[in-house]
Amino acid sequence: MNIQQIIREQHLGLLFQQGSFGLEKESQRVYADGSVVTTPHPSLFGSRAYHPYIQTDFAESQLELITPPNKKLEDSLRWLSAIHEVVLRSLPEDEYVFPLSMPAGLPAPEHIKVAQLEDQQDVAYREHLVNVYGKNKQMVSGIHYNFQLDPDLIHTLFKWQPRFQSAVEFQNNLYLKLAKNFLRYQWILTYLLGAAPVVQDNYFKNGSPLKTGQYVRSLRSSQYGYVNAPEIKVSFDSLEAYANDLEHWVKSGKLIAEKEFYSNVRLRGGKKARELLQNGIQYLEFRLFDLNPFEPYGINLKDAQFIHDFILLMIWLEETADQQAVELGKEKLFTVALENPLAETQFRPEGEYILQQLITMLEDIGVESARIIYAKEKLAQLADPSKTLCGRLVHAIEDDGCYQQFGAKLAQRYKQQAFERFYALSAFDNMELSTQALLFDLIQKGIKTEILDENDQFLSLQFGDHLEYVKNGNMTSHDSYISPLIMENKVVTKKVLAKAGFNVPQSVEFRSIESAVANYPLFENKAVVIKPKSTNYGLGITIFQQGVQNKEDFAKAIEIAFREDKEIMVEDYLVGTEYRFFVLGDNTLAVLLRVPANVIGDGKHSVTELVAMKNDHPLRGDGSRTPLKKIALGDIEQLQLKEQGLTVDSIPAEGQLVQLRANSNISTGGDSIDMTDEMHPSYKQLAVGISKAMGAAVCGVDLIIPDLKKPAEPNLQSWGVIEANFNPMMMMHIFPYQGKSRRLTQHVIKMLFPEMP
Amino acid sequence: MNIQQIIREQHLGLLFQQGSFGLEKESQRVYADGSVVTTPHPSLFGSRAYHPYIQTDFAESQLELITPPNKKLEDSLRWLSAIHEVVLRSLPEDEYVFPLSMPAGLPAPEHIKVAQLEDQQDVAYREHLVNVYGKNKQMVSGIHYNFQLDPDLIHTLFKWQPRFQSAVEFQNNLYLKLAKNFLRYQWILTYLLGAAPVVQDNYFKNGSPLKTGQYVRSLRSSQYGYVNAPEIKVSFDSLEAYANDLEHWVKSGKLIAEKEFYSNVRLRGGKKARELLQNGIQYLEFRLFDLNPFEPYGINLKDAQFIHDFILLMIWLEETADQQAVELGKEKLFTVALENPLAETQFRPEGEYILQQLITMLEDIGVESARIIYAKEKLAQLADPSKTLCGRLVHAIEDDGCYQQFGAKLAQRYKQQAFERFYALSAFDNMELSTQALLFDLIQKGIKTEILDENDQFLSLQFGDHLEYVKNGNMTSHDSYISPLIMENKVVTKKVLAKAGFNVPQSVEFRSIESAVANYPLFENKAVVIKPKSTNYGLGITIFQQGVQNKEDFAKAIEIAFREDKEIMVEDYLVGTEYRFFVLGDNTLAVLLRVPANVIGDGKHSVTELVAMKNDHPLRGDGSRTPLKKIALGDIEQLQLKEQGLTVDSIPAEGQLVQLRANSNISTGGDSIDMTDEMHPSYKQLAVGISKAMGAAVCGVDLIIPDLKKPAEPNLQSWGVIEANFNPMMMMHIFPYQGKSRRLTQHVIKMLFPEMP
């Protein structure tokens, strides 16, 4: 079977590059000095019985972070980043994530705790490992790279190849070819990406085999790493042979289970090897990779892509390594792993030959040039070992002087970086902040999440068999469809609420300027609000707080409202302060006061300076990538200043409140102030009732309340509801300018999955 | 209290005209010859135990049609029209609604059946009436006009009047003034609008008191109508006096209950008169009005508005009639009722004086000129009795020769008119047809319905205490909010359906023309559909049924799709016929095949003529006011003809199918063909499952099926789902071009109110 030829002839270059990718990354939790913690796995991360993203590997201190499978490698890296941000922001204040594969500051073996899992078989397996390999070796961390070829590719290749009659057999053969060739040439990746040059002496049971000051390419991939006894040999010649060998070693007691076979390539698709004969190999797991300490999450996209290209080459190559070649490959790996990282490898010619072939393949299948350039850089590193990852790492460690301290410093820096935009999930920053906050909580608690449509903020969530969908952070199956339809229409909202007995200001609707103006006598001297029927964001609204004084003003306000909608309302004006109630189910979870954009004078700085100072607040930015918006100093603000006898250059007196906007929207620089604890509970109950009257599960209720401390009375002097909003904003409650944060996204999760522990 | 003065000084002219209106109209069900039916009240109208719109009055044959209260008189007339259309279309084929107040063709008394109500007290009351008044008088029909002043008006008037301390007392006094003045001048309305000039002799127990050929203005309002014994006098001087008198007559046994007091004005707001002292009079019921046989529904808007103006005048007048004047008014009514309709009334000067005042009032409060013009016409009728309603009616009856036959002919004509646009509810024709169909069923079954927003197709429905909201005919609380959000997004829809295990054609999404075109090799030679991610109505879709042959065509199709959306999909093309499944809850209620616009040749007519003939179909029209759309002969159709080697002038052979469109949308002239009974049940079950997977209660599922007779198999060769639609169209199923009608709106009602009998 000549794969190259089929791909070329059938124009499959693009399909060849499709696939599915998943990453698993181990790392130790450490204290500020880089020493491994002795604390339990943080309870914030829910239960390891089901957590899809945050697990422990061998030890209680050893995090295993798992991305879901993705069709795009970029997405796997984004998930890895997101999971890291969640972990780093959730760890106790004095804990960090160690960025290097070889652990530093290892506690005495008796203080290394095996992962406290619920499944007693899992615990027993770990205890077996301790007996066979000792605890220290188990503390080494690395990255596992899962890869699946596109089933369409396999299907198409099968169609065009002449040799195999069975599709499953063909598929197994293809993956076995990949596995064998990978094992044959894996040393090249360790040469280029190995990053475990050194470890503290207490790692070794019987004293370090390395001389003082000696560095190697990868202790982890060497005989001192996590490897089976040398006699455990398993054939990759055929799947049948593979299964037979594994079963033999387990039967003989040399392996406690098939999973104790630590090959750098694992065949995946069944719990036991024999199942693969039926099901076919579904994907491969490559376990070779050391953590890259220069990357906050242990690997970068370019290297991950290079690994993908290398994997593809293993299929592309005309020959397939036989078992002898596989064993030769393993030997070469052991050799290269212990080479001096700053010296050339003895296998340089073979490496250059293979990377040349890689470049030819990339050109052949028509990848973007950046990938070819990167492959060429890697090729050049065979001649210049100081450019390899390990070469650079050794220099960095040398510069620092101490391995543990070097790792500790990086661990601290990466944790600090993860807090820079603490309200965001950097990797998903093109989604809404509320969806980012929800994703954060979902990852933390261990709800299996799929992003169905990123632009559309559409997620699917799964816990056990229970499936839910969420759009825009809080639109779910718990709301009835009619409820947003009611809220979308202010007239209908008012009628529904009035029917249900809530205090609603009276209003009259009009469909033409003429009819509205003709009804002017109905509103003369009345305090009213004129507003479009459906638009939001305060557009087209005029308030006559002191009563409509003349027909001209009235007509103008009517005209302004009609600019925004084909129908408008003239509504009785209610006296009081507007509060936003965030209702979820039977509870008002947050109450917010929104204050129009403002600064307070200090007798020293100008308005421009005061605004700049206020805008320095970490929550303020463009208002979409930040919870709050920077105050502008445009025409509207300057007009507002003028009404107060000020300009942007005025220096307001100490304590002087300078209002920069009339409207209180957060989107025009307003302040958000949490008032949940201050609000009298009677209003919170009312808001829940209002939400329920509209069939809503999640609702933003706007109440006008003159005195938030007095209990609600059943009349419009005490309170009135002026609006109800579906998909209400959450970020202003989660990250208010003043007052307590209310983590609403956690409540959304609880609502959807009440069965979660 | 000078009401005029307050209204003038406080500019209350507009508020004065606000109010609430309700109509109740009695009429006899009759056979084609105008004789009263002996059949039971049709069971189609649900139960009279709760029906808010369709009741029976005294007799089983006597319909009482009731409009809900409305702020606008127009709306009351619209409801009256709608209820009539429902009744006329629901009656047995040989039954009609008699358009005149005085019944014709009365059965012998023993064959007149008292209304068979569930409440035994109601039946007993009717039997009491038979004993006191005889059956025939009870068979007379009329219109009752309910009117409430705007509470704001009463409130404002109260504020400015000096006399009353209590708001309730003021309100009662105001309504009593209105009642008394109305009773004083009611004869004017009977002069103008009386329409009961004659009746057949067998109406009278002891022979007719009228001479042969004698006509009167209103037998119904005369002593021969439905009046209490002359000694039953009840004071309107004060509410206290009114309650005392009524209680006295009930106690004495002269009245069986307060409701047996047949005043032409009833005080409303409590079950007993005494309750009004506490609650205040809430509104008045005016019972004076004969059916206008020239109007299909017994009254027209102009007269209804004139009655409103007359009522307002009764408040506006400076004086208030005392009890003596009230009795005088009743006497004058009796006199006028029996006057010759073609002769001047003896009270002409008083009538002219009052109508002059009416005109002055209308000018004062600033009504639109049409109302003033109409009042002036009425004024002129005092000088020209032939122009009065009764004057015109007498001429018409004379022309016809026979009262019963005259009524029967009109009854037939009105029933026929009600069928002209049988798929619509004429009065609500600015709403969607599906909402009209739903309204029809709601009125028929007796669900209390309020139109919350006409433009927005928003209804509230109530049965007992159970409240539901419906938008656009089938958007309800039964759908979960996430379900339309899923369906709105084709990518998400596919992912959700694939997750749930349904056959979904594979697809790839793209966000730029470049990336889509770069992926051309993935689709080369594949049969695919290229479509925008979210738009509907078939816009931007290209189908490569034979496989994509070259990059240029592919790129062009991509570009077309991107005109409609920022994201597009390239989807595998499925072979088969597309069917629309209408799913509600656990059932597929209808399956429809949509056939592109076409005509079939007859060897005689040209395409233009064939199209014109097909467009003659009663269901075809503009497509919004009709269930089907007329076929156009525009550029697209002519291009389609050209591809078949035809022009609009070609004469296709007999049986030749001429296709005029490629797309099957009903909105471009397509045919709708019901296939519910033909479709194999396995596909109907699948459609239900698909709807449920998306959390939908109502869903339009589009399946591609090669053979609708073969049971479904779990592969894309057997079937595939290509789309799911929330708020699916109903009219094409209710009124298909071919095949059985499926009354989906009734199922929507059943879904919302499963407790309904």
| pLDDT digit string, tens, across residues B509-528 | 899 999 999 899 889 888 99
Does residue B531 share a domain with residue B623?
A: no
Q: For B492, which residue in chain A has the nearest alpha carbon?
A: A452
Find chain B residues with C-beta within 8 A of A486's C-beta: 458, 469
**pLDDT tens sequence across B706-723:** 999 999 999 989 999 999
Residue B740 resides in a domain: no
Reported confidence tier of residue A617, pLDDT bands at 50, 70, 90:
very high
Q: What are phi and psi of A629, to 5 degrees?
A: -105, 145
pLDDT tens-place string over residues B389-431: 999 999 999 998 899 999 999 999 999 999 999 999 999 999 9
| Matching residue, tokens 């999760």 | A749
Asked if B724 has any chain A CB less than 8 Å from its own CB, the reply is no
Beta bridge partners of A96: A30
Whether A499 contacts chain B with CB within 8 A: yes
**What six digits make up the tokens of A680?**
């009298």
Q: How far is A452 from chain B (nearest CA, A)?
A: 6
Q: Are residues B406 and B527 in the same domain?
A: no
| Residue A295 scores a pLDDT above 90 | yes
Whether residues B176 and B294 share a domain: the answer is yes
CA dist list (Å): B212 to A148, B216, B225, B748: 102, 12, 19, 56
pLDDT for A543:
85
How many angstroms separate the CA of residue A584 from the nearest CA in chain B?
Answer: 15
In a domain, A744, yes or no: no
Cα(A367)–Cα(A13) distance, integer angstroms: 8
Q: Is B121 on the interface with A (CB under 8 A)?
A: no
Q: B26 CB contacts (<8 Å, ≥6 apart)? A: B57, B62, B63, B64, B65, B141, B142, B143
Q: Does B8 touch chain A (CB under 8 A)?
A: no
CA distance A683 to chain B (A): 25
Sign for the CA dihedral angle at A184, A186, A187, A192 comes to: positive
Q: Is the pLDDT of residue B1 over 80?
A: no
Q: Which of A25-39, A197-211, A256-270, A300-314 is the least confident region?
A: A197-211
Asked whether residue B249 falls in the same domain as residue B327, the answer is yes
Rounded-to-integer distance, Cα A233 and Cα A183, Å: 13
Residue B185 belongs to what H/E stretch?
helix B167-193
Sign, Cα dihedral of B273, B274, B277, B282: negative
The CATH number assigned to the domain holding A567 equals: 3.30.1490.20
Q: Is B693 on the interface with A (CB under 8 A)?
A: no
Asked if B418 reaches chain A (Cβ–Cβ under 8 Å), the answer is no
What confidence tens digit (pLDDT) does each residue in B631-655 have? Answer: 999 988 998 899 899 999 999 999 9
pLDDT over threshold 70, residue A219: yes
Contact B521 A455 (CB under 8 A): no
Q: Is B726 on the interface with A (CB under 8 A)?
A: yes
Instruction: Looking at the structure, tell me whether residues B225 and B307 fall in a common domain.
Output: yes
DSSP A211: P
Inform me whether the C-beta atom of residue A89 falls under 8 Å from chain B C-beta atoms.
no
**pLDDT band, residue A590 (cuts 50/70/90):** very high
Q: Which of B349, B358, B357 is nearest to B382 (CA)?
A: B349
**What residues make up the domain containing B623?**
600-662
Indicate whether B553 and B643 sit together in one domain. no
In this structure, are residues B87 and B95 in contact, taking their beta carbons and an 8 Å threshold?
Answer: no
Contact between B482 and A495 using a beta-carbon 8 Å cutoff: no
Written as six digits, the tokens of B313 are 């005048």
A481, A497, A699: best mutation site toward chain B, by most B Cβ within 10 Å? A481
Pair B199, B339 in one domain: yes
| Domain assignment present for B142 | yes
All residues of chain A having their beta carbon less than 8 Å from the beta carbon of residue B491 are: 452-453
Q: Other CB atoms closer than 10 Å to residue B623's CB: what's the count? A: 17
Q: How far apart are CA B345 and CA B356, in angstroms?
A: 17
Nearest by CB to residue B483, choosing from A456, A481, A566, is A481
- For residue A519, the chain B residues in CB contact (below 8 A) are 14
Task: Provide the pLDDT for residue B528.
Answer: 92
Do B204 and B81 lie in one domain? The reply is yes
Hey, of B451, B456, B481, which one would you mutate to test binding to chain A, going by the most A CBs within 10 A of its CB? B481
Instruction: Check CB contact under 8 Å for B455 and A567.
Output: yes
Where is the domain boundary, A420, A443, A459?
A420
Closest CA to A390 of A129, A102, A95, A122: A102
Mean pLDDT is lowest, of A532-546, B322-336, B377-391, B601-615, for A532-546
Q: Specify whether the CB–CB gap between A697 and A750 falls below 8 A.
A: no
* CA of A16 vs chain B CAs: smallest distance (Å): 10
> Tens digit of pLDDT for each residue in A375-429?
999 999 999 999 999 999 999 999 988 999 999 999 999 999 999 999 999 999 9
Q: B477 contacts in A (CB within 8 Å)?
A: 480-483, 695
Q: Residue A480 gets which letter from DSSP?
A: B
Q: Does A365 touch chain B (CB under 8 A)?
A: no
Residue holding tokens 């599960």? A697
Inter-residue contact A263 to A282 (CB < 8 Å): no
CB contact under 8 A, B521 and A11: yes
Q: Do B481 and A476 touch (CB under 8 A)?
A: yes
Q: Could you read off the pLDDT of A58-107 as tens digits, one per residue? A: 999 999 999 999 999 999 999 999 999 999 999 999 999 999 999 998 88
Domain membership of residue B679 (yes or no) is no
- Residue that finishes a domain, picked among A533, A555, A572: A572
Which residues of chain A neighbour B497 with C-beta distances below 8 Å? none
**What pLDDT is recorded for position B401?**
86
B304-334 residues labelled b (16+ CB within 10 A) or e (exposed): bbbbbbbbbbbbbbeebbebebbeebbebbb
Residue A699 lies in a domain: no
Q: Is A496 on the interface with B (CB under 8 A)?
A: yes
C-alpha separations of A226 from A207, A234, A648 in Å: 17, 17, 67
Cα B169 from chain centroid (whole Å): 38
Put simply, whether B396 touches A (Cβ < 8 Å) is no
Cβ(A671)–Cβ(A661) below 8 Å: no
Q: Which two tokens stand for residue A170?
A: 């063909």
> How many whole angstroms separate alpha carbon B479 and alpha carbon A477?
9
- Smallest CA–CA distance, residue A358 to chain B, in Å, is 22
Min Cα distance B469 → chain A (Å) is 7
pLDDT tens by residue, B101-118:
999 988 888 889 988 888
Judging contacts by C-beta atoms under 8 Å, the chain B residues touching residue A482 are: 469-471, 475-477, 479
B570-588 pLDDT per residue, tens? 999 999 999 999 999 999 9
- The residue of chain B nearest to residue A150, with distances taken between CA atoms, is B522
Helices and strands of chain B, counted as H and E runs: 25, 23
Cβ separation B482–A480 shorter than 8 A? no
Pairs of residues, one from chain A and one from chain B, whose beta carbons lie less than 8 Å apart:
120
Contacts of B495 in chain A (CB under 8 A): 450, 452, 460
Residue found under tokens 């060739």: A181
Contacts of B470 in chain A (CB under 8 A): 482
Considering only CB atoms, A14 lies closest to which of B476, B482, B521, namely B521
Instruction: Kindly list the distances between the CA atom of residue B67 and the CA atoms of A80, A354, A420, B72, B441, in Å, as whole numbers in the listed order.
Output: 65, 88, 65, 12, 15
Q: What is the pLDDT of residue B137?
A: 85
User: Shortest Cα distance from A354 to chain B (angstroms)?
Assistant: 28
Question: Does A413 share its domain with A517?
Answer: no
Please give, rounded to a whole number of angstroms, the shortest distance from the CA of A545 to a CA of chain B.
20
Report whether A627 contacts A674 (CB < 8 A).
no
Average pLDDT of the residues in B116-123: 85
User: Quick check: A640 pLDDT over 90?
Assistant: no
Contact B491 A455 (CB under 8 A): no
Q: What is the DSSP string of B424-482?
A: S-GGGTTS-HHHHHHHHHHHHHT-EEEEEETTTTEEEEEETTEEEEEETTTB-TTSBTH
Nearest to B11 among A491, A521, A567 (CB): A521
B108-131 in b/e form (b: 16+ CB < 10 A) is: eeeebbbbebeeeebeebbeebbe
A477 interaction partners in chain B (CB closer than 8 Å): 480-483, 695
Mutate one of B155, B485, B506 to test the A interface: name it (highest A CB count within 10 A): B485
- What integer best gives the mean pLDDT of chain A? 94
Closest to B503 (Cα-Cα) out of B574, B443, B437? B574
User: Among residues B638, B662, B686, which one ends one of the domains?
Assistant: B662
The number of folded domains in chain A is 2
Closest partner residue to A476 (CB to CB) among B475, B479, B482 is B482
Which of A540-544, B21-25, B488-492 bottoms out in mean pLDDT, i.e. has the lowest?
Answer: A540-544
Q: For residue B266, what are the β-bridge partners?
A: B285
Assigned domain for B462 exists = no
Residue A415 within any structural domain of the chain:
yes
Contact A482 B477 (CB under 8 A): yes
Chain B residues touching A458 at Cβ < 8 A: 485-486, 489, 492
CATH number, domain containing residue A16: 3.30.590.20
A549/B contact by beta carbon, under 8 A: no
Q: Specify whether B510 is located in the same domain as B646.
A: no
Chain B residue whose CA is closest to A456: B489
Quick one: A56 and A185 in the same domain? yes
Q: Which residue of B has its CA nearest to A479?
A: B481
Q: Do B521 and A13 touch (CB under 8 A)?
A: yes
The Cα–Cα gap between A296 and A504 comes to 54
Q: In this predicted structure, what is the pLDDT of residue B535?
A: 61
Q: Are residues A396 and A248 in the same domain?
A: yes
pLDDT class for B536, splitting at 50, 70, 90?
low
Quick one: which of A751, A745, A747, A608 has its CA closest to A86?
A: A745
In a domain, B754, yes or no: no
Instruction: Give the nearest partner residue to A477 out of B469, B480, B495, using CB atoms.
Output: B480
In the structure, what pLDDT confidence band is assigned to residue A317 with cuts at 50, 70 and 90?
A: very high
Out of B453, B477, B489, name the one closest to residue A453 (CB): B489
3-state helix/strand/coil string of A4-30: HHHHHHCCCHHHHHCEEEEEEEEEEEE
What is the 3 state secondary structure string of B592-622?
EEEECCEEECCCCCCHHHHHHHHHCCCCEEE
pLDDT-based confidence at residue A206 (cuts at 50, 70, 90): confident
Considering only CB atoms, which chain B residues are within 8 Å of A567?
Answer: 455
